[in-house]
Structure 1
């Protein structure tokens, strides 16, 4: 008996939400070594240098920002030569862009993360630079390191923190460390410290003198009636004997027990603000330059 049922065709399908990445590859040469890597990370994270280079039409002889044409990089015999970085820095960058574990960025050393930050700035990779800065910020960066790295790689936060640390307390760094800074920077640190010291002297040195309750006496009574010394609990209130207010009478207060006097230190908040304000004034140009470099390129758009 004949089967009248229609032959079933192939089932209809729709595309799933996860699309495969086009894993095109490229050959790079760094310090004589040739690397064969995926283009994806370079196209995604480099907002101009590599993205523009890979956008060149095939067969074009027009040069990109790194001096490569579209014909270069296709084979091992004709790699794109990358200048301005070492093999160690390039390999660290590869580890960050293509991590081998699911836990995120690799556990690189401080020197390796500095190398990643260097090439990320060199090749316009703000997202990679951000990761490197976050990782380095939780490592042991000394004030002089923060100043040098902040200047070199455009990290205003480090630059400001480094300057504040030195202006606040120069004893935390050695002479050898200070010698690694330019003489202009060292001079401005010393000048800022001197300005703060002079300002503190002009405002009463370390914050004036303090004394215990019960050691203050009315200055008017002591001057006019030596036998009538009246104790004062509050210099803003009037004396119970002469009715003069020590704060406004012109006679002030008398301290009979000099051993009760102590030197007052300024509140920590006041000193910190004074240092921060002076750093912002003295190193204004450096901080602005680092800020401009850090914000010159927008965040990487979703791809």
Structure 2
């Protein structure tokens, strides 16, 4: 054998090259669905992978004529009671496009994610449901949306947050809107909770421990007093941090309780007041005038109920709204929490 032949044999032994083994990659075949008036054609494998509902459905025996539902366009699986637009949104999540992979993001609109959440909840697609909740949590959901979506799709976090935010809104939404979106029973319950966690300062009672630095604009919530001021009645100087110079005497005071929250801090109360109800402790007369008074930050004219006070835990007398919500809706919240266990 020549040297060249020996060299070739040696190379062949050391580097045999890739060995290709025949393999069949199973995608599970194509399945046909009909939702409303639209027929959808898609690979079946991810439906079975993410949902026991479909895994069971795909193993049902064929009919008496030997035809299995979903095997062709003439015999699709009928999904009654669902929306075609929601099903199309789910397909975008189950089978993202190459562009989605390249960009690293799956761009769906808010309503599309709601459709994905709806179907993934109804068909027990846990991972897809969790992702839809995560994406929708990044959107700006108002309190009413949190309540409705939380109740419809068993999302305890949204449901509880929406209830708490709604009873703390000022001003409260019109009764007709509450009844139309939440139903008369829930609307009445929320108005009752709001009433129980709102304090009206009765005539003859005094709220003390206030300072000018605690007063903020009703509209932009910026501080109204950056420096001290003089009483309009006796000209006494009132320092911005003096908690003994002024008090609020009777009349117009609506107090809204904010429960202790890890994100926002200790429990507080927001008190909407009339500036003219603040009394000077030196002369026991009105300390301020509304004449030509505007917010130094947003320039809004100041009128009745134009200020907010953020008061500490020591002045909070009522139980928090969160506690009342748990008393009224605790069982329902617990049921929704069980969906994410």
**Whole-angstrom CA distance in 1 between matches of 2:104 and 2:55:** 24
Runs (5+) with no aligned partner, structure 2 = 212-241, 246-280, 289-307
Q: In the TM superposition, what is the alpha-carbon distance from 1:40 to its structure 2 partner?
A: 2.1
C-alpha distance 292-256 of structure 1, shift in aligned 2 (>3 A): same
Residue 280 of structure 1, aligned match among 326, 337, 340:
326
TM-score scaled by length of structure 2? 0.59
Higher RCO by CA contacts (8 Å cutoff, separation 6 or greater): 1
**Whole-angstrom CA distance in 1 between matches of 2:192 and 2:50:** 42
Mapping for residues 40-79 of structure 1, pairs under 5 Å? 40-46=45-51, 48-54=52-58, 56=59, 59-60=61-62, 71-79=68-76
In the other structure, the counterpart of 1:31 is 36
- In angstroms, what is the RMSD of aligned CA positions? 4.1
CA contact (8 A) 2:70 2:76 kept: yes
SS at match of 1:75: coil
Greater C-alpha radius of gyration: 1
How many equivalent pairs are there?
Answer: 243
Residue 19 of structure 2, aligned match among 7, 13, 32:
13
SS at match of 1:208: strand
Asked whether 1:267 is paired with 2:267, we answer no
Asked whether 1:161 is paired with 2:161, we answer yes
CA contact (8 A) 2:29 2:45 kept: yes
Greater helix share, 1 or 2?
1
In the other structure, the counterpart of 1:194 is 195
C-alpha distance 70-50 of structure 1, shift in aligned 2 (>3 A): farther
CA contact (8 A) 1:53 1:70 kept: no
* TM-superposition CA deviations, 1:79-126 (whole Å, max 9, x none): 111122111111111011111111455322222211111111111111
SS at match of 2:139: coil
Runs (5+) with no aligned partner, structure 1 = 63-68, 216-254, 296-303
CA contact (8 A) 2:62 2:69 kept: no
**Whole-angstrom CA distance in 1 between matches of 2:114 and 2:143:** 15
* TM-superposition CA deviations, 1:153-173 (whole Å, max 9, x none): 001111111100111125253
TM-score scaled by length of structure 1? 0.66
Mapping for residues 139-150 of structure 1, pairs under 5 Å? 139-150=139-150
Greater strand share, 1 or 2?
2
In the other structure, the counterpart of 1:182 is 183
